[in-house]
Structure 1
Amino acid sequence: MFQKAVRKRAKARIGICGPAGSGKTMSALKLAFGIVGPTGKIAVLDTENESASLYAHLGDYHVAVIKPPFTVEKYISGIREAEKLGYDLIIIDSLSHAWAGTGGILEFVDSRTESAKGNKFAGWREATPKHNSLVDAMLQSQMHVIATMRSKTEYVLVDDERGKKVPKKVGMAPIQREGMDFEFTLVFDVDQERHIATTSKDRTEIFDGFHGKLTEEHGSSIRAWLESGESAQNHAGTTQEQQPSGPKSITQDQVMELEAKISEVGADRDKFLAYMGVNRLEDIPAERMTAALKALEAKTKKSDGTPGTVTDITAILAARRIPFKLDETNKEVYATPSYQDTASKEFLKTKGFKWSSSYKAWVIKMAA
């Protein structure tokens, strides 16, 4: 039976992505201390050669080391054990090993493919349910969950203080199953150079436009947001007569404005609706109209449909975690999204990229 949608109290589900050395573990711990408060218990599953213990000066937490092979079963066992021992929050550092590490999912698929005489589908038929079981263990846990994920790295050209192009190492897509970020409430991307975090996903709206180092205070803000939801008991006991009227939705003119903006920037409509947490544009609360426009404007392309500068294009690709390489001599950018990443390929088309079978990449020629 349908009921009025109410945001209930929930546990944190946070992803922190970044290249090696970007400060993912320290950022995770600082958020964790803020989320659980001074009396909370924190557990860490450490796959990074016991590096989590290097930050013991930050506060009290317990560590369980996972050594190779990094099987899904070891991760799930660690989560279950932490639940039994009454921890309030678990940090999985790093989740990437379960995917691409020794004994991880990709290696499991390769071994099954070899035994099945090259039939890769046979490997994935077994691997997908295994990985899904790990995702379910995280999502259904009664603990708060923070998972760090290593990012692939690429070099992009940026302008220095003198306006000259200089290479900068940036994190790209996380080393993890495609679309994994959709499982989290919050996803932060941390850069390697200054340990600055930005949000690539934020259902809380706390970190809209955030650009800075993560602190314990940010964790406290997340805890306040989580606890501001309605308790399941109160929601279950609320009668239809007692339920307050819902928030006012956007007007029809605002719906048309969003329709035009979606078309203008080439946004994925379904992903935009999912980001806003609604099924239709008409259901967007009036107070979230500004946030909706900001989300779409972040994807704005030039009105004449032509590509911008190399820096503009590479910044957009980096923001969307689409792997790419630069050919500065020929003024070309080569984007290489995965075969299954249909959304990214459609996005590249809107930006003027063309598929090149010679380069096995999506290519765009920049203005001289």
Structure 2
Amino acid sequence: MANNEKFSFTKAERKKAKLKLNLNGASGSGKTYSALVLASSLGKKIAVIDTENESASLYANEFNFDTLPLRPPYSPDRFIGAITAAFNMGYEVLILDSASHEWVGSGGCLEINDEAAKRFKGNTWSAWSETTPKHRKFIDAILQTDMHIITTTRAKTETAIGEKGKIIKLGMKAEQRDGYEYELTVSLDMLHENKLAVPTKDRTKIFSPEGEVITRETGQKLLAWLNDGRSQEQALQDSFNEALNRIASTNDIAELGIIYTPFKGTDCEAEIASACRNRKSAILSTQGHA
């Protein structure tokens, strides 16, 4: 039987984009300063949501920006409200310093989940069914709000025990939900000893794998790349490939839902959903609940 549905094709074009970037590092690694350097090249009207005891204001003599000191509780809803307010007030660039508080801070997602677990008689897996959608809305606010957004995250050093009990440094783990860096355009680790920014994810291909000091020229290069844009098809393909890698490596059933959500309604939805189901079965089997 013939399909009477009409399809319309339009000429593919490269789209301008808004930067979504994270700077991850220990205290004193230069996250806040570097964020302000980048922001100054991306736009003139800059806002900072400051959860770090107004540390950004220490640079008020060098950069022109407005600030919102955000106090506890650090719930996803309050961050979303602040992001929305910044957009409605016409800011071109928003710095969220830091996004770690939404996850590990007082009133953040981990505390929210602990409270939810009490209603589920200590079952934290069931509690995440309530907490994860709240966190997902926070991520969506960052990704979907039409302005440049730079976030920072606090880092802690991951280690392992090697041969003869030697402690081996594995890298810097952000104090945010696992996989946070995969959501963004660029994610950089800030090295404390030399203030170099080392890319852990870089769709722009601008940053040296060995790391570099962030300057205003860095921001100008990012802005040029954003204004040049890229095809939506290529962007979706990149996200699809990243999602498959994340699905294959995660042992967190709740994270599978986070990975799946952005693909709802896309051509990739069926494949992502199938991969998530298969991975969920494998996780449950490993846990002995299959």
Please state which band the TM-score falls in when normalised by the shorter chain: 0.7 to 0.9
**1:214 matched to 2:214:** yes
Using the size of structure 1 for normalisation, the TM-score is 0.58
How far the C-alpha of 1:11 sits from its partner, in A, is 0.5
SS in structure 2 opposite 1:76? helix
Between the two structures, name the one with larger relative contact order (CA 8 Å, sep ≥ 6).
2
Partner of 1:81: 85
Cα distance between partner residues in 1 of 2:75 and 2:170: 28
Q: What does the per-residue CA deviation read over 1:136-157, in whole Å, with 9 as the maximum and x for residues that have no partner? A: 1111111101010111224699
How far the C-alpha of 1:340 sits from its partner, in A, is 3.2
- Aligned partners of 2:20 and 2:186 also within 8 Å: yes
Partner of 2:187: 187
Partner of 1:151: 155
For structure 2, the residue ranges without an aligned partner over 5 or more in a row are 1-6, 256-290
Length, aligned pairs only = 236
Match of 1:28 among 27, 30, 35: 35
- Structure 1 stretch 137-146 or stretch 120-129: which is displaced more? 120-129
- Aligned partners of 1:43 and 1:61 also within 8 Å: yes
Partner of 1:274: 241
Partner of 1:106: 110
Partner of 2:252: 340
Match of 2:20 among 6, 13, 22: 13
User: Residues 221-236 of structure 1 correspond to what in structure 2 (within 5 A)?
Assistant: 221-229=221-229
- Aligned partners of 1:151 and 1:171 also within 8 Å: no
Cα distance between partner residues in 1 of 2:183 and 2:54: 26
Partner of 1:362: none
Q: What does the per-residue CA deviation read over 1:196-242, in whole Å, with 9 as the maximum and x for residues that have no partner? A: 1111111111114352211111001101111112799xxxxxxxxxx
In structure 2, the CA distance between the partners of 1:154 and 1:177, relative to structure 1 (3 Å rule), is: closer
**1:199 matched to 2:212:** no
In structure 2, the CA distance between the partners of 1:230 and 1:155, relative to structure 1 (3 Å rule), is: closer
SS in structure 2 opposite 1:201? strand
Q: What does the per-residue CA deviation read over 1:323-366, in whole Å, with 9 as the maximum and x for residues that have no partner? A: xxxxxxxxxxxxxx984399xxxxxxxxxxxxxxxxxxxxxxxx
In structure 2, the CA distance between the partners of 1:67 and 1:169, relative to structure 1 (3 Å rule), is: farther
SS in structure 2 opposite 1:59? coil
In structure 2, the CA distance between the partners of 1:155 and 1:182, relative to structure 1 (3 Å rule), is: closer
- Aligned partners of 2:198 and 2:208 also within 8 Å: no
Q: Share of identical aligned residues, percent?
A: 42
Partner of 2:52: 48
How far the C-alpha of 1:173 sits from its partner, in A, is 1.6
User: What is the one-letter code of the residue matched to 2:180?
Assistant: M
User: What is the one-letter code of the residue matched to 1:225?
Assistant: W
In structure 2, the CA distance between the partners of 1:131 and 1:111, relative to structure 1 (3 Å rule), is: same
How far the C-alpha of 1:122 sits from its partner, in A, is 2.9
Cα distance between partner residues in 1 of 2:121 and 2:230: 54
- Aligned partners of 1:14 and 1:146 also within 8 Å: yes
Whose helix fraction is larger, Structure 1's or Structure 2's? 2
Runs of 4+ in 1 over 6 A off after TM superposition: 166-170, 270-273
For structure 1, the residue ranges without an aligned partner over 5 or more in a row are 158-165, 233-245, 247-269, 280-336, 343-368
How far the C-alpha of 1:97 sits from its partner, in A, is 0.5
Partner of 2:101: 97
Cα distance between partner residues in 2 of 1:210 and 1:53: 31
In structure 2, the CA distance between the partners of 1:76 and 1:198, relative to structure 1 (3 Å rule), is: same
How far the C-alpha of 1:106 sits from its partner, in A, is 0.7
SS in structure 1 opposite 2:61? helix
- Aligned partners of 2:48 and 2:94 also within 8 Å: yes
Using the size of structure 2 for normalisation, the TM-score is 0.73
SS in structure 2 opposite 1:146? strand
- Aligned partners of 2:155 and 2:175 also within 8 Å: yes
How far the C-alpha of 1:67 sits from its partner, in A, is 0.7
SS in structure 2 opposite 1:86? coil
Cα distance between partner residues in 1 of 2:54 and 2:25: 18
